[in-house]
Amino acid sequence: MLWYKMWRESRVRFAISAVALLWMCGAVVLLQQQVRAHADEPLSYVHYIWHAVYKANALDLYILLVIVLGLGGVQQERTQGTAGFTLSLPLSRWRLVATRAVTGWVEVAVLALLPALLIPLLSPWVGQTFPFLRALQFSVLWAGCGMVIFALTFFFSTVLTGAYSPAIASVAAVVACSMSAGLPLFERFPVLDLIDTMHGAQLLLFPGNASLGAFAVPLPWLSLGLYALLALCLTGVAGVITARRDFP
């Protein structure tokens, strides 16, 4: 029942997010000839997809959609006047938080997988190919980093009141993260650069048609592990706050 409740609360946002991301990726593929013809320098199809999807437009959209999916929680339900029903369920608050977080992470991962399914399938329609395994590698990066963005938004939804405050705080945090990429700390420890990790530029140095056994080789597992740990910590703090807070 609880899983179904969490899914019902977010399914409209998830469906709209999925359609928006698929539309964006589809437009990038179908308009590739016109865009590449007006590019400042010649681009291969693979590099064009990387620039348009995994580094710029679609990535920015994905981040915004993850933030939208991260909105919610008991604090936001109190603002909407529905917290009473949720808190009356015979479940611990920790379980409420954990179920909401896991549901969101699954949605974030599925959302990250959509470009990997659409782009390789749609590319032959425009006379091009894009390796599925490479697209899947980018999806792993998006899903891993998306967990942190979702957890950050979920944390802000727990500590901030108001319908828009958590989203604004999350966008500000992501923008600050992007703007701080040139600081000496991030240059010395690129493992901490969330946005650069999502770009996945290092994947272009490896053959796109590599075997399944070599799939995991170029992925930054240390960065992804740190981001997963950070996401768990943010969710844990949100759980502690929810468990201790008095909701009138």
pLDDT in tens, 69-99: 998 765 555 555 455 555 555 567 777 788 8
Q: What pLDDT does 73 receive?
A: 62
**What's the DSSP call for residue 214?**
G
Residue 87 Cα distances to 55, 75, 101, 246, angstroms: 41, 11, 17, 11
Contact call for residues 107 and 146 (beta carbons, < 8 A): no
Instruction: Report CA-CA distances (Å) from 45 to 30, 35, 83, 114, 178.
Output: 12, 11, 50, 19, 26
Number of domains within the chain: 1
Interhelix angle for 57-70 vs 2-30, to 10°? Answer: 170
What is the arithmetic mean of pLDDT over 191-197?
81
Residue with the bigger pLDDT between 29 and 207: it is: 29
- The band of 133, judged by pLDDT with boundaries at 50, 70 and 90, is confident
Averaged pLDDT, 235-244: 84
Which residue range is the domain that position 108 belongs to? 2-244
* Whole-angstrom distance, CA of residue 22 vs CA of residue 111: 9
